[in-house]
């Protein structure tokens, strides 16, 4: 496997160009942050990822994590890599200073997540799951809970895990049966079993703070009766020291297709007592509402996993194509065989990988930017608009980035040819690792259901209409920006037309019959996501063109950005039109088939 290098120039272009970083630093919490400090953070973090984390990726895939007694041992090098990350305080960068955080915008944290996942997605799952647990406690925990747990979770001294899934309650979380019984001292006793718990047990930190969904004895049925509990691996004494081991134990580890070093645990609660000790977060029966407050960040995080894997796969494919000699490229003199990077079809593969990866980055970072605005803008109208955009684009960011990760990592294998099918090259690992991203945190089909069932009807379709208007405004800018951007303007205009008309059809027909809406959901989600990606690639082209005209930046780099945007518009964006038929075909054949 080739070495990983953090794509700092690409990240800088996106985070301080497509994203309005200057505007974010004017928001109240970020007044002490500037572009130079962001760049310094990303450069140093990228160095850690390249030099310390990335070399552990292959070892993790070939060795995996394993159980010893009632503990889990991670592969060689993982503890040291994690400790280097925690000791330097990297996990704290995007969190609030009052809990030991660095106070940087969330979009900076997302850029760091990209590098984490490129370097070693399996290991990255530990801090990323901890971030989700931090969010839940930060927004819904009591002040006492925040004081006890947050500082040591933000610092990386303790880890966190999310415990939702059960054997008979996967995506249907409302069917869970884990039980929580209140005690006289206000704590609860938790009994039951959870499956698919990422880093539910490991040797990276001295304590693990599990967030567990469970049902109290008199709770309503379904999701309305779910509560959320803190269940630490080790109980915490009043002085903050660790006390006795709680009755939560790993039963087994799943044997997986990818991310093999990330221990996916079956956890049992209360098998050796009357229950593991748990502490209610917020109110009883409000657990699902609390989970949804962190869902946008979590789903965006999964999309960024797809981005990270796509970038790593592209880097490896490009390195191989620039080293591998085979055949003669058109016009090449006979003698030494040509590098395969000179063959047109290989170049098409590489440019597809590059353009899609850049579009994924633009989409993920744009959503993260608006998460920051939605939290911290001074005007309520600005906060509302930003939150609406986040809500609309989150299912697209999660589903499209992970679907495209599967495509990009598959192309990466293809560039390697037969060597890509051989595990020793490492190309196949990225493909295997990518598959889970389409499944967890709500499968991409569930994202599509969320899009058509909850997001498209927002403000009676007004949020969707506003997004169409934004995309049309970019078309207008492109049309006035010269002949070099005309192909992008033309293709984007046609894609926006197709998206608007298909969205209108969906709202007219699907709102009356939910089966029609659900039948159209997945193709419409991909259609909309492609157009949104094309919109952002159009913005990329405008930015690169303006900087070239102003003599601002590396002209070769900016020319490549224009080439990539044009390629995306001409070769990827037209896929939109093949999705109009599937998205408007109705339900009859789908529901009429016998299985």
Cβ atoms of 566 and 358 closer than 8 Å: no
- The CA distances from residue 292 to 223, 403, 447, in Å, are 12, 23, 13
The answer on pLDDT for 486 being more than 70 is yes
Task: Give 464-503 as a DSSP string.
Answer: HHHHHHHHHHHHHHHHTS-GGGHHHHHHHHHHHHHHHHHH
So where are the chain's domains?
Answer: 8-154, 159-284, 443-595
Label the pairing between strands 208-214 and 159-163. parallel
413-433: b (≥16 Cβ within 10 Å) or e: bbbbeeebeeeebbbbbbbbb
Mean pLDDT over 17-30 rounds to: 94
Going by pLDDT thresholds of 50, 70 and 90, the confidence category of residue 371 is: very high
Mark residue 35 as left, alpha or beta (left: phi above 0; alpha: psi -120 to 50; beta: remaining): alpha
Over residues 158-168, the pLDDT tens digits come to 999 999 888 87
What's the confidence (pLDDT) of residue 169?
Answer: 63
Task: Give 271-284 as a DSSP string.
Answer: TTSS-EEEEE-SST
Cβ atoms of 442 and 455 closer than 8 Å: no
Return all residues near 327 (Cβ < 8 A) that are at least 6 apart. Answer: 337, 338, 340, 343
CA–CA separation, 210 and 297 (whole Å):
18
What is the CATH architecture of 159-284? Beta Barrel (2.40)
User: Which CATH superfamily hosts domain 8-154?
Assistant: Acyl-CoA dehydrogenase/oxidase, N-terminal domain (1.10.540.10)
252 pairs with which residues across the strands?
266
What's the confidence (pLDDT) of residue 124?
Answer: 97
Return all residues near 581 (Cβ < 8 A) that are at least 6 apart. Answer: none
Active-site positions read 441
446-458: b (≥16 Cβ within 10 Å) or e: bbbbbbbeebbbe
Mean pLDDT over 58-76 rounds to: 96
Mean pLDDT over 502-511 rounds to: 93
pTM for this entry: 0.96
What's the confidence (pLDDT) of residue 208?
Answer: 98
Write down the H helix ranges in 191-327. Answer: 287-321
Going by pLDDT thresholds of 50, 70 and 90, the confidence category of residue 101 is: very high
- The CA distances from residue 212 to 71, 231, 511, in Å, are 19, 7, 35
Return all residues near 424 (Cβ < 8 A) that are at least 6 apart. Answer: none
Residue spans of beta strands (DSSP E) within 137-214: 159-163, 179-182, 188-198, 208-214
Mark residue 77 as left, alpha or beta (left: phi above 0; alpha: psi -120 to 50; beta: remaining): left
């Amino acid at each position: 496997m080739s070495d990983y290098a953090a794509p700092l120039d690409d990240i800088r272009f996106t985070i301080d160009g497509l994203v309005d970083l200057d505007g974010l630093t004017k928001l109240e919490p970020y007044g002490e942050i500037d572009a130079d400090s962001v760049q310094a953070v990303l450069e140093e973090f990228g160095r850690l990822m390249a030099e310390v984390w990335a070399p552990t990726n292959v070892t993790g895939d070939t060795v995996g994590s394993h159980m010893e007694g009632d503990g889990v041992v991670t592969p060689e090098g993982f503890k040291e890599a994690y400790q280097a990350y925690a000791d330097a305080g990297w996990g704290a960068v995007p969190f609030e200073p009052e809990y030991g955080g660095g106070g940087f915008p969330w979009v900076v944290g997302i850029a760091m997540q990209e590098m984490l996942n490129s370097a070693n997605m399996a290991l990255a799952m530990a801090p990323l799951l901890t971030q989700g647990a931090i969010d839940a406690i930060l927004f819904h925990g009591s002040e006492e809970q925040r004081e006890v747990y947050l500082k040591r979770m933000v610092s990386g001294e303790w880890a966190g895990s999310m415990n939702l899934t059960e054997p008979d309650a996967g995506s249907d979380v409302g069917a869970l049966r884990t039980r929580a019984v209140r005690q006289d001292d206000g704590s609860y006793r938790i009994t039951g079993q959870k499956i698919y718990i990422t880093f539910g047990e490991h040797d990276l930190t001295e304590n693990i703070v599990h967030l567990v969904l469970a049902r109290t004895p008199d709770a309503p049925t379904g999701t309305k009766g779910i509560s959320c509990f803190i269940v630490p691996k080790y109980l915490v004494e009043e002085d903050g020291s660790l006390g006795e081991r709680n009755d939560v134990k790993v039963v087994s580890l799943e044997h997986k297709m990818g991310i093999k070093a990330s221990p996916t645990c079956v956890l049992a609660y209360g098998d050796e007592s009357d229950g593991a000790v748990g502490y209610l977060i917020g109110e009883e029966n409000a657990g699902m509402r609390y989970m949804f407050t962190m869902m946008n960040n979590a789903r965006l995080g999964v999309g960024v996993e797809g981005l990270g894997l796509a970038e790593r796969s592209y880097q490896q494919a490009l390195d191989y194509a620039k080293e591998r000699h085979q055949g003669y490229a058109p016009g090449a003199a006979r003698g030494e065989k040509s590098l395969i990077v000179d063959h047109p079809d290989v170049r098409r593969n590489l440019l597809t990988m590059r353009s899609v990866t850049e579009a994924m980055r633009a989409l993920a970072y744009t959503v993260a930017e608006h998460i920051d605005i939605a939290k911290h803008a001074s005007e309520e109208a600005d906060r509302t608009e930003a939150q609406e955009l986040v809500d609309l684009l989150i299912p697209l960011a999660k589903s499209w980035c992970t679907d495209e990760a599967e495509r990009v990592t598959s192309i990466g294998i293809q560039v390697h040819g037969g060597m890509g099918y051989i595990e020793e090259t490492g190309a196949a690992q990225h493909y295997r690792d990518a598959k889970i991203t389409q499944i967890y945190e709500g499968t991409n089909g569930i994202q599509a259901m969320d899009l058509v069932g909850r997001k498209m009807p927002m403000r009676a379709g007004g949020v969707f209409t506003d997004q169409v208007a934004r995309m049309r405004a970019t078309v207008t800018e492109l049309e006035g920006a010269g002949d070099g951007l005309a192909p992008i303007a033309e293709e984007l205009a046609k894609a926006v037309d197709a998206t608007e008309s298909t969205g209108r059809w969906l709202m007219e027909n699907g709102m009356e019959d939910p089966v029609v809406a659900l039948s159209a959901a997945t193709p419409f989600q991909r259609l909309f996501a492609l157009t949104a990606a094309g919109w952002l690639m159009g913005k990329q082209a405008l930015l690169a063109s303006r900087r070239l005209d102003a003599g601002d930046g590396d002209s070769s780099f900016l020319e490549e950005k224009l080439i990539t945007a044009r390629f995306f518009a001409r070769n990827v964006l037209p896929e939109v039109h093949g999705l109009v038929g599937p998205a408007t075909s109705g339900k009859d054949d789908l529901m009429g088939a016998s299985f």
